Structures are given as structure tokens and as C-alpha cells.
Structure 1
Amino acid sequence: MARTDRLFRLLHAMRVLPAPVTAARLAEETGVSLRSIYRDIDGLRAAGARIDGERGYGYRLVEDPALPPQTFDRLEIEALVLGLAEVGRMGDPALATAAASVLAKVAATLPDRSEQHLMHAVSHVYRFRERYAPAVDMGTIREGCWAERAVAIRYRDRDGTATARTILPLAIVYLEDRMAVLAWCCLREAFRMFIADRIASVEATPASFRPRRAALLRDYLAELSAGRRTSQTA
């Protein structure tokens, strides 16, 4: 691994892991030796990073020179913490991990006083159960949206009938109590909303529909706004 990549991974690990984080934990997270961790921490300090701690105790990244300083007022910090906390409790493990990573990166760029506001925000989210519980990993569908590639799904409709579908995924939406995929259904040749917890399996395909996603999504949203029957739930 190139030293630059290794240093970026070390900085990211120090942003995300609870401080103080031991060298052994950093070595496990980044996949390098303890000796490399000690050497890289010395190198980061020499480059201007403020890293508190020492061997045998643990380390805390006080200021990260790799990111520009951020300025948020206290209410903006509350909004940021609340929004990311809600994402973390929606029931999508990948998004929960990403939300924690974003919060750690932002904290690393804040002045000390603002960082304290973030760490001790008064706004919190508590849920006794995950808000959404999709039956499959949504990562493949999310990647299909990003890459504008069709995905093959096995789906159970509102009557419990199982069908195999190829869809052009356009967006993932979070409704009041369920997650859904907005898509063009190649079987029905129409826009459909697929409820995530009715999707039994999902598989990527090589079929591309680029660059049509933005236009298709715009048309679908227009149909939803107009309340047209063709925009029904599958």
C-alpha cells in the first residue's frame, strides 16, 4: 500500500473510532503493523497534525490538516447531528456506517468550541426499532441507481404473488413507515414503486440505461405529483 493511502486510512480511522484509540486498534483497522502506526503518527505530527496521546495510552486526532476548517453556527450543528442520527437509525447498515463517518469527518474539521457543541448536542434521535427493515441489502439497488444499470429482482406484490422483474432503478425513497424503490418496470412497461421489504432478492445486470436516469426520474415524479394511476405501487 502506498504511504499516502496508508496515511489517509489512518486519519480516517482516527476520525471514526472512539478516542483515545490504541495503536493496536489502529493497526487492526488499517491492516498495517504496530511499527508502521507509530512511524505514521510521527509523520503526521511532523506534517502539522495535532494528535494527542502516546504509546500505551492511545491517540486522539485534535485537528486534521487534510480537511479545510468548517464554520457552522450552533443551530446548524444541531441540524447536522439530528439528521445524521436519523440516518443511522433507519435500518440500512451501509448508510448508518456512512452517517457515522460523515459526523467524524466534520468533527475533525471544526474548531474546538464547535466540536464540543457537536459532541454534546441537545438534539437526539431514539427509536425502539429500526424504522425501515428491507429484506435485502439495498447496496445493489443503490449502485444500480448510481451506475444507471438495470437490476433483476424477485418481488412479492400486494397480493403475495411472486414475480421476477427487471427494473431500471431511479431512486430510493423513505416514506413514513417503509422504504421503496422508484423504478421503470420492464415487465409492466411502466413506472412502479417497489416496496423494499417485499423484494426477496436482487441481482445486478450489465444492462445500462445511461444517460436516462435523470429524465426518467423527472417524468416519474411528475406522474406522482399528478396522481396518475400508472405510478401505482407494484
Structure 2
Amino acid sequence: MLPAPVTAARLAEETGVSLRSLYRDIDSLRAAGAHIEGERGYGYRLIEDGALPPQIFDRIEIEALVLGLSEVRHMGDPALARAAAAVLAKVAATLPDTGQQHLLHAVSQVRRSEERFAPSPATAVIREGCWREEAVTIRYADGEARITERTIWPLAIVYLDRKLVVLTWCCLREAHRMFRVDRIAAAELAGASFRPKRVGLLRDYLAVLKRKAADAPEG
């Protein structure tokens, strides 16, 4: 028995988009080969079709999505947790009935008694600085709790096993530097753009870190 059609209003609510965007997305999926029954004012239903193109996830891909997004929800970043939940809802809305069952009853799960990283108000500012390629002024406590103020160009936020760090170009030292997010007492956008240098600086920094890891003694 085929599942009942889902109204456009419900799909838009579940995926967090406007009705106009939803209709456009449905048209795009149909153009890509997805077999979606229904129309405006009636509702939509995705029909199982073995000939669907590869953008339809198979079972192990759904497992990977659920596992990865579950991990993100336990990172300790409220914005990322909300985004992960929204992504999962959007994926669910595009899956056929069998795929939705695989998603709801995924074999692989993540359960943590506490979040991996303590939430920090600095994270959102640093992320915004990365997106905008805009300098950020931070107040930073070193290992001896001494506070310094400096301006950084944030390049990437990196989730290590036990700590959250931001890779930067430090304007004070004029060199690449890594700062622990939990030691950033305050952060604010400085209003100075460093576009379009972020990609090149990040590539160079990652190459340096890779060389250091290769040169590190074993054991």
C-alpha cells in the first residue's frame, strides 16, 4: 500500500524552507529523474523506483548520514546541533518510504552522556569570521592564565579528540597560530576583511601541520 501524500505545507515546515523553495526543489528533483507523484493543493509522494539516479541514498549511506549527524549533535555547539537536526529532517523528506524506515531505525547510533566540547560563545563569532573572511579580535588566556588581546584571521575550526581549536593567521606574530577555543575569553568581529586570502593561508597551514606530523618521532 502506497503511503499517503504529504502536503507541501508540511514538507516546507519539516525542512525549514518556504513553499516557493519547496516547489522549486521538487521541480529540480523531478528534472533529475526522481519519480514524485502529486501536485500543488493535493500533496506529494516519492515512488520507489529501482531506476532512480544515484542521488537517492542506499542503506549504508543512510547509516553514515545518521551516524555523522548524530555525532555533530553531541559536539556541544547549539547552532551545529540545530543544523544537524534540520539536515536530517530535510533528508527524510526526500527519501522514499523504505529509505525513511532505514533512517528512523538506523543500526548505527551515537549516545554520549555529555557533550564532547564545552559550548563557547566565541565559536559563533569565529565561524562568522571564517565565512566572511573577516578579522576577529580575541582576548586569549595562555597556559598560565595570562590574558592577551590580539587580532586573528580565522581560517578553520578543527575538532580534535579532546579539544576544539581554531587555525589562524595571527596579525601580532605575522605567522600561523593555533588557539584553543576554550581559552578564548571574548571574541568580536574586527570589521577588517582579509578576503581572498583564507583559502591559500589555510592550504599552507595544513601543509605545515602535515609536515610536522610526518617528522614527529614515533612512540
Range into which the TM-score falls when normalised by the shorter chain: 0.7 to 0.9
| 1:77 and 2:44 are equivalent in the alignment | no
Name the stretch that deviates more: 144-153 or 129-138.
129-138
Equivalenced residues, count: 180
Gaps of 5+ in 1: 1-6, 17-43, 51-61, 229-234
Give me the TM-score of the superposition, normalised by structure 1: 0.71
After superposition, give the CA deviation of every residue in 1:88-107 in whole Å (9 maximum; x if it has no partner).
Answer: 00000000000000000000
Partner residue of 1:46?
40
**1:90-127 CA distance string (max 9 Å, x none):** 00000000000000000000001111110111111011
Which of 84, 105, 124 is matched with 1:99 structurally? Answer: 84
Amino acid at match of 2:190: T
Instruction: Pick from 153, 160, 178 the counterpart of residue 168 of structure 1.
Output: 153
**2:196 maps to 1:211:** yes
CA shift for structure 1 position 223: 1.2
The Cα of 1:10 is off from its aligned counterpart by 6.2
For residue 140 of structure 2, the aligned residue among 152, 155, 159 is 155
| Offset of residue 46 of structure 1 | 3.4
1:124 aligned residue (109, 116, 124):
109
1:140 corresponds to which residue? 125
SS at match of 2:153: strand
- Looking at structure 2, the residues matched to 176 and 163 of structure 1 have their Cα atoms a distance apart, in angstroms, of 26
Q: Shift in Å at residue 137 of structure 1? A: 4.0
CA 1:163/1:9 → structure 2, altered by over 3 Å: closer, same or farther? farther
Whichever residue aligns with residue 209 of structure 1, its letter is: F
2-side partners of 1:194 and 1:13: how far apart?
39
2:170 to 181, 185, 188: 185
Counterpart residue number, 2:33: none
* Identical amino acids, percent of aligned pairs: 59
Change in 2 beyond 3 A, CA 1:72/1:10: closer
Kindly state the Cα deviation for residue 14 of structure 1 after the two structures are TM-superposed. 2.7
Q: CA RMSD in A?
A: 2.4
- Per the alignment, do residues 122 and 214 of structure 1 end up closer, same or farther by CA in structure 2, a change over 3 Å counting? same
Which residue of 2 is the match for residue 23 of structure 1? none
**Separation in 2, partners of 1:224, 1:159:** 25
Q: Which residue of 1 aligns with 2:208?
A: 223
What CA distance in whole angstroms lies between the structure 1 residues aligned with 2:9 and 2:174? 45
- CA–CA distance in 1 between the matches of 2:124 and 2:91? 24
**Contact 2:14/2:93, CA 8 A, preserved across alignment:** no
Which 4+ residue blocks in structure 1 deviate beyond 2 angstroms? Answer: 7-16, 44-50, 134-137
1:14 aligns with 2:14: yes
Q: Would the alpha carbon gap of residues 9 and 187 (structure 1) be closer, same or farther in structure 2, given more than 3 Å must change?
A: farther
**What amino acid sits opposite 1:161 in the alignment?**
R
Does structure 2 retain, via aligned residues, the 8 Å contact 1:136–1:197? no
Q: 2:160 is matched by which residue type in structure 1? A: L
Distance 1:165 1:135 in 2: 18
| Residue 135 (structure 1) shift | 3.1
In the superposition, the TM-score normalised over structure 2's length comes to 0.75
Give yes or no for contact 1:70–1:109 (8 Å, CA) kept in 2. Answer: no
Query: In the alignment, which of 104, 109, 121 is matched to residue 94 of structure 2?
Result: 109
